[in-house]
Amino acid sequence: MSQKPSNPKGTRDFNPLTLKRRRYIIDTIRSVFTSFGFNEIETPSLEKRSTLYQKYGNEGDKFLFNIINSGEKIKKANIKSFENQNYNDFVSSISEKGLRFDLTVPLARYVSQHQNEITFPFKRFQIQNVWRADRPQKGRYQEFTQCDADVIGSKSVLLEFEMLQMFSSVFKRLKLDDVSIRINHRSVLNIIAKQIGINNNFGEFLVILDKIDKIGIDKAKEEIKSKFNNLNDIDKIFGMISQKMSPKKYLNNLKNNFTLEADDILLNELESLSNLIDNDDSLIDIEFDLSLARGLEYYTGLIYEVSSKSNFDIGSLGGGGRYENLTEAFNLKDNSGIGISFGLDRIYHVIEDLGLFPKNIALNNDILVINFGKEYLIKISSLINDLRSNGRNVFVYPDKNKLSKQFTYSDKNNFSYALIYGSSEKDRSSIKLRDLKTGKENEFGFEKLIEHFKK
CA angle (320, 322, 324) in 5-degree steps: 140
Q: Please state the closest distance from residue 201 (CB atom) to a second copy, in A.
A: 21
- Residue 305: partners with Cβ closer than 8 Å, 6 or more residues away: 181, 182, 292, 294, 316, 318, 319
Comparing CB distances to a second copy, the nearer of 31 and 232 is 31
Residue 428 sits in the site that holds a second copy (CB under 8 A): no
Q: Pick out residues in 136-155 that bind a second copy (CB under 8 A).
A: 142-143, 151, 154-155
Residue span binding a second copy (CB under 8 A) among the ranges 32-40, 236-244, 297-305, 422-430:
32-40
79 binds a second copy (CB under 8 A): yes
- Cβ pair 180, 289 in contact under 8 A: no
Shortest distance in whole angstroms from residue 128 CB to a second copy: 9
Looking at beta carbons only, is 110 or 238 nearer to a second copy? 110
Site membership for a second copy, residue 392 (CB under 8 A): yes
Please work out the total of residues on this chain that contact a second copy, with binding judged by CB under 8 A.
Answer: 118
| Cβ neighbours for 369, distance < 8 A, ≥ 6 positions apart | 377, 380, 384, 394, 395, 396, 397, 418, 419, 421
Binding mask 92-111 for a second copy (x = CB under 8 A): --xxxx-x--------xxx-
Among 391, 404, 438, 455, binds a second copy (CB under 8 A): 391
The residue range among 1-9, 217-225, 254-262, 316-324 that interacts with a second copy, by the rule CB under 8 A, is 1-9
CA distance 16 to 13: 10
Query: Rounded to an integer, what distance in angstroms lies between the CA atom of residue 181 and that of residue 307?
Result: 7
Distance of closest approach, residue 14 Cβ to a second copy, in angstroms: 4
Alpha-helical (H) ranges within 288-337 are none
DSSP state string for 270-301 = HHHHHHHHHH-TT--EEEEETT---S-TTEEE
In the region spanning residues 313 to 372, those forming contacts with a second copy, defined by CB under 8 A, are 328-331, 363, 365-368, 371
3-class state of residue 173 by DSSP: helix
CB-nearer residue toward a second copy: 5 or 355: 5
Least distance (Å) from a second copy to the CB of residue 305? Answer: 23
How far apart, in whole angstroms, are the C-alpha atoms of residue 447 and residue 418? 17
| Beta-strand runs (E) in 75-132 | 97-99, 122-131
- Considering only residues 193-222, where is the footprint of a second copy by CB under 8 A? none
The answer to whether 285 contacts a second copy (rule: CB under 8 A) is no
Cβ closer to a second copy: 193 or 273? 273
User: By rule CB under 8 A, what string of x and - marks binding of each residue 10-29 to a second copy?
Assistant: -xxxxxx--xx---------
In the stretch 154-183, what mask flags binding to a second copy with x, by CB under 8 A? Answer: xxxxxx--x--x---x--------------
If one asks whether residue 240 binds a second copy (CB under 8 A), the answer comes out as no
CB atoms within 10 A of CB 295: 15
User: Which of 157, 363, 402, 374 is CA-nearest to residue 271?
Assistant: 157
Using CB under 8 A, pick the residue from 24, 26, 36, 194 that binds a second copy. 36
* Long-range Cβ pairs for the range 116-120 (8 Å, 24+): 120/152, 120/153, 120/154, 120/335
CB of 295 to a second copy, least distance (A): 19
Dist. CA 129–CA 73, nearest whole Å:
28
Tell me which residues in 402-421 interact with a second copy (CB under 8 A): 409, 412-413
Closest CB to a second copy among residues 148, 213: 148
String of b and e for 351-361 (b: at least 16 CB within 10 Å)? beeeeebeeee
Candidates 5, 137, 264, 440; binder of a second copy (CB under 8 A) is: 5
Among 21, 124, 322, 349, binds a second copy (CB under 8 A): 124
Burial code (b: 16+ CB inside 10 Å, e: under 16) for 334-349 equals: ebbbbbbbbbbbbbbb
Q: Residue 418: beta bridge partners?
A: 368, 434
